[in-house]
A and B are shown apart, each in its own frame.
Chain A
Amino acid sequence: MDRRKALKKTGLLAGAAMVAPSFLSIFQSCKQESRLDWQPMFFDENEAKTIAALVDVILPRTDTPGALDVKVDLFIDKVIAMTYVEEAQQAMRSEIATFNANCKQDFGTFFFDLDETDRVAVLEAAEKSSGKFNPGVWGTTVGEQEPIGFYRSMKSMAIWAYFTSEEIGENVLSYDPVPGTYEGCKPVSEVGNRWSL
């Protein structure tokens, strides 16, 4: 909406753009120093670094922002902290631990300490062993849903967090809060990217 455009023009957007590279470089330096530059609400340090590394491999920065640029990892931490009941939180904790334990067994170290090639190898294996989501109709999944598993659940959450971030939702996807009319048949070329809303 105009309000946001105005805010962005006055410098907030410029600020955001400048934050992103430094955020990434801090993250890269984490690999050596093993320190987070933010205080998670739910994750411990290793869990936070694992999720950050995971969403970065899934949604890296290209000519559009990556997951870490729009703080997908921070949002996932907040969602788990603020919306999960305790049992679900504990389950998440043990799934991350298992994921890392497998990395350690196969590659000798936790996911966030692996190099790019090994990270890709881990995710390729995870893609093959994870279930797929059934389609949803009006808010619930239909058909008989197989178990999804940690990796694809986290991938799904990362994509949701990415699409619903302000930067992606307003400036990367096609954003039209008050469409006015409905046009049922329009060339994709006239719209561009997927609608954000």
Chain B
Amino acid sequence: MKNWLLVYFLLKIVPFLLFRQTNIFVISIFNSYLQPQIAPYMANYNIDAKKEMTYDAIVIGSGISGGWAAKELCEKGLKTLVLERGRIVEHVVDYPTMNLDPWDSELRGGLTPEQKRKHYKAIRSGWIGTDTEHFWADDEANPYTEVKPFLWLRGHQMGGRSLLWGKQTYRWSDLDFEANAKDGHGVDWPIRYKDIEPWYTYVEKFAGISGEPLGLPQLPDSHFLPPMELNCVEKHVKTRIEKDFPGRNMIIGRCAHLTVPHNGRGQCQNRNRCSRGCPFGAYFSSNSVTLPAANATGNLTIRPHSIVQSIVYDDVKGKATGVRIIDAETNEDIVYSAKIIFCNASALGTTQILLNSTSKRFENGLGNDSGELGRNLMDHTYRVGAIGKVEGFDDKYYKGRRPNGIYIPRYWNIDEKTKSDKFLRGFGYQGGGYRGGNPANSEEFGADFKDGILKPGPWEFFITGFAECLPYHENKVTLNTEVLDKWGQPTLSIDAEFKENEKALNKQIQEDAVEMLEKAGLRDVLGFDNEHEMGNGVHEMGTARMGRDPKTSVLNGFNQVHAAKNVFVTDGACMTSSSCVNPSLTYMAITARAAHHAVSELNKLNI
């Protein structure tokens, strides 16, 4: 037995044995350690923020972007305090459900009425079961008000939603960064693809992104690990679509899953239990990738149960000097000081903090000279597409539960030839093929029926679109002082909706999806358009946008608050437009870029 394994066993597993419940978990964890290619992180996070009240940098939030901020700042030598609203979730050790089969949990995924109450909003997503319930925020303790229907899905723990995300990772292109300037919606991005391209490369090389290069200008290739494999039906549908619809491509999803061992982490084992936490560290999460790296520098302190009340702005010094928190467990009110502050509390979480950070200089929220703070909220449209049955592959199956599907890159409005007169911008599709069907729909029952449903079900294939949402000034969040959270803090009112352009995009998504699947020979094709509220895409963006002009934006081209340059916002709040592709990779790149800029500015004594 290798030494690290023995040490790990003594340090981590033995306490686990002694202090944490059932044998199933313990044995499962131990079994998982007998698998090859386990990443042996021995994090031992420093959570003692008592003796030190002053840091070089404070990072608010530890999700996808906060983890990157912490890593970059720590690696540059800054003593960094990460403030996390929820508890510590240590890689592997705090993944209690990672190896459970359905029959290992009493209700096999069913939620109790108490759990449903706790997540009474989030259960609308259809994502929550007993396997991940502990990674979703408490909706009762953390209320928000839906002026119009809006689903705000949150993960209040170390790692945030990086534990739960879909892991689709795509670069944006100048089609996206130039979109606002070209059609006049929103304001111009202060950056272009060339500004962020090296940072995409930088984060991809560390995170590990698998995929197939295609050379498409609207979807630039990443630095790829080997792509995952399409199954036979997906290959078949791909051939048909690409033949019948020149200009449309179907590829395996590009994703933050390792297809080969990478930077000490194990490769994907095709269990598709990612959202429970991966014992192999095979997908990108803050917990498995960036926070251990930050911790390895010795410069990281992470303080759990820290609800950020506001950023402290000093009117005399003309800059932010620290962060005021409420300890979620003791209700203590504490102020930490730092030279720079990174806001990575998620798009709406960050904006809530900025709106609540009032001072003489900023009566309407930190950095809100333009009045744009809280404005221009965006998301992607979601769950519009088509599904059908595929015949002719009855003797074919697959092995493994690939945590990834197919992707059809945007093909509308990418040049003059593909210009639509019905809508601006565009959409891409995700989807996949699998043997499924619902055996309960059969009109049979009894012995033959039962023996039949033990066999693989019919092949099905679906695609569902993600459309770009324009930045509308009137789609907004505001501070609600009537509805307070468990700690007496003001909450958010969310007043946003998809409008005519998004509806026109959705119509096209469904029409194209039905047409493509029917032409590809699928049977019983069902078009659908099932989501009409924002938030379901879990790609909320905007509300503290970047821009060239302080009069119309909150942040500059390096994500600094225009009028408080030592405050950086690098999560979804900073986005100036929404593209139609998944945003997380762009958050990572923007964060790394901003962190390096921050250190450079600090060194030059500019901030």
Contacts and interface: CB of A to CB of B under 8 A. Distances in A.
B112 to A, nearest CB: 6
Interface string A180-195: 1111111111110111
Given A2-B31, A79-B107, A164-B102, A191 B449 contact: no
B145 interface: no
Interface string B228-264: 1111101100000000000000000000000000000
A137 B31 CA distance: 32
Contact of A156 (B113, B438, B526): B438
A169 B102 contact: yes
B397 A187 contact: yes
Nearest to A89: B113
Contacts, number: 191
Nearest to A194: B456
Nearest to B437: A135
Contact of B112 (A82, A139, A159, A179): A82
B111 A83 contact: yes
Chain A binding surface SS class: mixed
A183 B443 contact: no
A3 B102 contact: no
A127 B446 CA distance: 12
Nearest to B382: A138
A31 interface: no
Contacts of B231: 184-185
A93 B439 CA distance: 25
A57 B28 CA distance: 36
Contacts of A182: 228-229, 270, 398-402
Given A57-B446, A179-B399, A182-B402, A83 B385 contact: no
Interface stretch (B12-20, B333-341, B355-363, B457-465): B457-465
B400 A180 contact: yes
Interface string A28-52: 0000000000000000000000000
A1 B450 contact: no
A179 B270 contact: yes
Interface in A79-99: 79, 82-85
Contact of A139 (B28, B125, B234, B385): B125
A135 B500 CA distance: 28
A139 B126 contact: yes
B396 interface: yes
B395 A187 contact: yes
Contact of B450 (A59, A127, A176, A187): A59
A161 B112 CA distance: 17
Contacts of A195: 401, 456
A178 B35 contact: yes
B435 interface: yes
Nearest to A162: B450
Contacts of A123: 445
Of the four ranges (under 10, 10 to 19, 20 to 34, 35 or more), the interface on chain A belongs to 35 or more
A121 interface: no
Interface string B260-279: 00000000011100000000
Contacts of A64: 450-451, 454
B394 interface: yes
Contact of A179 (B235, B397, B400, B450): B400
A59 to B, nearest CB: 5
A33 to B, nearest CB: 26
A62 B445 CA distance: 13
Interface string A157-179: 00111001110011011001111
A181 B445 contact: no
A180 B270 contact: yes
Interface in B401-450: 401-402, 435-436, 438-441, 443-447, 449-450
B113 A137 contact: no
Given A3-B31, A83-B113, A182-B400, A177 B229 contact: no
Contacts of B453: 159, 194
Contacts of B449: 58-59
A166 B269 CA distance: 22
A140 interface: yes
Contacts of B110: 79, 82-83
Contacts of A132: 438, 441
Given A83-B112, A85-B113, A169-B101, A186 B445 contact: no
B141 interface: no
A143 interface: yes
A66 B446 CA distance: 10
A23 interface: no
Contacts of B99: 1, 177
A190 B99 CA distance: 25
Given A64-B454, A184-B234, A194 B446 contact: no
A120 interface: yes
B396 A186 contact: yes
A139 B122 CA distance: 13
A136 to B, nearest CB: 8
Interface string A120-142: 10010001100011110111111
A176 B394 CA distance: 21
A193 B455 CA distance: 5
A89 B235 CA distance: 46
B387 interface: yes
16 contacts: A127-B444, A134-B526, A135-B436, A137-B383, A140-B125, A142-B528, A156-B440, A159-B453, A164-B109, A169-B103, A177-B101, A178-B35, A179-B401, A182-B229, A183-B400, A193-B454
Interface of B: 27-28, 31, 35, 99, 101-103, 106-113, 116, 125-127, 228-232, 234-235, 269-271, 383, 385, 387, 394-402, 435-436, 438-441, 443-447, 449-451, 453-457, 460, 462, 464, 526-528, 530
Given A62-B447, A182-B228, A185-B396, 4 more contacts: A58-B446, A83-B113, A120-B446, A184-B398
